[in-house]
Amino acid sequence: MRDDDPVVAQMMDIALKLEGLYRNASTHAAGVVIGDRPLVELVPLYRDPDSSLPATQFNMKTVEIAGLVKFDFLGLKTLDVLQQTVELLAKRGVEIDLTRLPLDDAKSYAMLAKGDTTGVFQLESSGMRDVLRKLKPNRFEDIIALVALYRPGPMDNIPTYIKRKNGEEQVVYLHEVLRPILEDTFGILIYQEQVMQAAQMLAGYSLGAADLLRRAMGKKKASEMAAQRANFIKGAGEKHKVPPDQAGTIFDQIDKFAGYGFNKSHAAAYALVAYQTAYLKANYPVEFFAAAMNFELGDTDKLNVFRQELVRHRITLLPPDINRSFPMFAVEQANDKSAIRYALAAIKGVGMAAMQGVVAARESAPFKDLFDFAERVDAHAVNRKQMENLTAAGAFDSMNKNRAQVTAGIDALLKHSQQTSSEKETGQVNMFAAASEAARPPLPPAKNWDDVTRLQHEFDALGFYMSAHPLDTYRAILERIGATSAKDIATRPRIGGSSRYKMAGIVLAKQERTSKQGNKFAFVQLSDGSGAFEVTVFSELLAAKRDVMEVGQAVLFEVDAQANNQGGQGAGAPREGASDLRFIARGVEPLADAAARAARGIRIKLFDPAPVEDIQKLLAVTAKGRAQVVLALDLDGSEEAEMELPGSWLLTEATKSALRNLGGGLEVTEY
């Protein structure tokens, strides 16, 4: 083709010139080189158009030969979390010096032994939590060993380490001479330093020669290893009269460990940061979680994980409040206990800079009402979308609980804000300033959102359900039909196989895929109040029930729960980032249908007597049936007066929806 077609010939000529050249100039994310003179005198440099720093044209190995010293500077977000936690503690008079923490804190080790490590550096993964529960660490050396062992290869030694630590297996040493260097790790070679010390103590190597041995073992070059083996056997025989066969066996075992030996000083540094985070979480959880959440402002999934942790630790997460929240999460006293106030900047689409402006505007005094807010905040700083999301998140509830009315009045508020800003900019003085508050336009009347709508808007603004969960209205029904939360399933002990459960949830998302065999299947993400979970739905069920699994719908699944390591690859295989369990759908239906079959009636909680007349009118035209209606009047926030209405009704979804839509301060739940 080259000989017959000039286009092909030209293409091949160009290709031959390009072949073997570097496709791009890549730079190490954290690599920095330092020389004893300007680098241009030592190595050729290259400037990446997207970087402010030049890069060496030599790779990392060649720059060392050229006389440069190479450093890797790693930036850890965890260090910022630690620093901010210390700063938050200092605000309430607690001084913490991270460099002087006691390394034997019982609360920290008890927390680690329970696997309670969300937010703890290096120890967060589900696999690591499982190892911690089995290992039950009680000394700093255990954390160092775990950081070094929890990698492909060394992981194989974790069961042995646990058994020997817990006295379930006898500790065996390669040679008695090695006991002092292997005692801390129960006879297991874990660190590169142990490999070097073993060669030094057993075979008389100098530390320099031992380091060369370590490098040779890492490279696995046959000729080099043969020479090292001979030197080791000879040295062990001369120094400790170790027979050649035994010395050869020891060398082979050291070689096996050295292939993936970890640098202990590196592991110890990571373990120290892990311990520091564990210490702060165990002893000062409120400040720790506030700081950790501040570094996840844009990740609603991670914030939701922390929200669930706060519930588990009985720490109150206070809702966003335009008069009390700050741009970032803050610690606040509530009912004589420390709580965390939700960050304004963590609300979707509002922005850090705008919220800093809002907080600056209220420094002189809290906002008295929505129009006061509009007058004092820069009109250019907050737009309609930001106002909508602040309202949906509940940030204005302290001034007006009717979120629907606030949303309807946003245009009037923004117009008022622009008018006020214009007057300030032009230096005009309102002669009738005293009467200006009375002249403010009224907010348009609007019926408050029902519970479902309010929670959906809240979810859209925050990325999770915060004040309540749509399934809360079904709580009694879910208990009656035997539904189990994702969290409860995850914490139940399992011994192989799979188990069948009923699981209810609100559909958050659905991704349909096609398997290698051409069959459709779907991953359905749901939320059930205890957290988010995912269900895999295969082709037959998906085709029959696709319309049931729409986003926002409340559904009841019948699932098989299986350990993630079961089964082969394909449609049912776990995805990256999935939990320890996968749920395979065997059936699905609208939760309302299941509730209708199981419900005894509804409970209407009133915060205001005003809706009573509307409830009476609605029930008067509702057909008789078997469902009861209970009225509960909130008396003072802590007590309720409850009354079961005489008679029974046919309570369809339409009727229950009509009751919820009455608004005016009521909640409808099924029981």
Q: Which two tokens stand for residue 97?
A: 């010096």
381 vs 367, which has greater pLDDT? 367
**Residue 505, pLDDT score:** 92
pLDDT at 421 over 80: no
List, by residue range, all CATH 2.40.50.140 domains of the chain. Answer: 470-591
Residue 57 CB neighbour total at 10 angstroms? 13
Contacts of 159 (CB under 8 A, 6+ apart): none
Q: Which helix (H) or strand (E) holds 488?
A: helix 486-491
- Which range is least confidently modeled, 39-48, 86-95, 443-452? 443-452
pLDDT tens digits, 272-317:
999 999 999 999 999 999 999 999 998 888 898 898 889 888 899 9
Q: Mean pLDDT, to the nearest integer, of 438-464? A: 83
Which of 246-250, 285-289, 511-515, 659-663: highest mean pLDDT? 285-289
Q: Mean pLDDT, to the nearest integer, of 530-547? A: 89
pLDDT category at 437 given cuts 50, 70, 90 is: low
Q: Quick one: CATH architecture of 6-72?
A: 2-Layer Sandwich (3.30)
Is residue 236 within 8 A of residue 113, CB to CB? The reply is: no
- Burial of residue 643 (CB within 10 Å: 0-12, 13-18, 19+) is exposed
pLDDT category at 430 given cuts 50, 70, 90 is: low
pLDDT at 602 over 80: yes
pLDDT at 544 over 70: yes
pLDDT category at 83 given cuts 50, 70, 90 is: very high
How far is CA 172 from each of CA 136, 160, 183, rounded to the nearest angstrom?
21, 11, 10
Q: Quick one: CATH architecture of 470-591?
A: Beta Barrel (2.40)
Contacts of 444 (CB under 8 A, 6+ apart): 405, 408, 409, 412
Q: Which two tokens stand for residue 136?
A: 């039950």
Q: Mean pLDDT, to the nearest integer, of 529-550? A: 89
**Residue 572, pLDDT score:** 46
pLDDT category at 665 given cuts 50, 70, 90 is: low
Q: Mean pLDDT, to the nearest integer, of 433-449? A: 71
**Residue 653, pLDDT score:** 72
Contacts of 134 (CB under 8 A, 6+ apart): 162
pLDDT at 331 over 90: yes
**Residue 438, pLDDT score:** 46
The residue type of 345 is: A
**Residue 274, pLDDT score:** 96
pLDDT tens digits, 132-183:
999 999 999 999 999 999 988 788 889 999 999 999 999 988 888 989 999 9
pLDDT category at 636 given cuts 50, 70, 90 is: low
Residue with tokens 């009375």: 438
Is residue 172 within 8 A of residue 187, CB to CB? The reply is: yes
222 vs 556, which has greater pLDDT? 556
Is residue 407 within 8 A of residue 453, CB to CB? The reply is: no
Angle between helix 140-149 and 158-165 (nearest 10): 160
**Residue 485, pLDDT score:** 87
Would you give the DSSP letter of residue 666?
A: E
pLDDT at 497 over 70: no
Task: Tell whether pTM > 0.85.
Answer: no
Contacts of 450 (CB under 8 A, 6+ apart): 657, 660, 661, 663
Measure the CA–CA gap between 109 and 124, rounded to whole angstroms.
15
**Residue 435, pLDDT score:** 43
List, by residue range, all CATH 3.30.1900 domains of the chain. Answer: 6-72
Q: Mean pLDDT, to the nearest integer, of 362-372? A: 92
pLDDT category at 17 given cuts 50, 70, 90 is: very high
Q: Mean pLDDT, to the nearest integer, of 220-224? A: 75
pLDDT, averaged across the chain: 86
Q: Mean pLDDT, to the nearest integer, of 188-200? A: 89
Q: Mean pLDDT, to the nearest integer, of 489-503? A: 70
Measure the CA–CA gap between 371 and 377, rounded to whole angstroms.
10
How many CA within 13 A on the CB side of residue 332?
19
Give the distance from CA 634 to its chain's centroid: 37
pLDDT at 537 over 50: yes
Measure the CA–CA gap between 15 and 26, rounded to whole angstroms.
22
Contacts of 118 (CB under 8 A, 6+ apart): 124, 305, 306, 309
Backbone angles phi and psi of 317, in degrees to 5: -105, 105
Measure the CA–CA gap between 547 and 590, rounded to whole angstroms.
10
- The size of the chain, in residues, is 671
Measure the CA–CA gap between 483 and 436, rounded to whole angstroms.
57
- Percentage of the residues of the chain whose pLDDT score is greater than 90: 42
Is residue 341 within 8 A of residue 326, CB to CB? The reply is: yes
Q: What is the 3-state secondary structure (H, E, C) of 521-565?
A: EEEEEEECCCCEEEEEECHHHHHHHHHHHCCCCEEEEEEEEEECC
Give the distance from CA 121 to its chain's centroid: 13
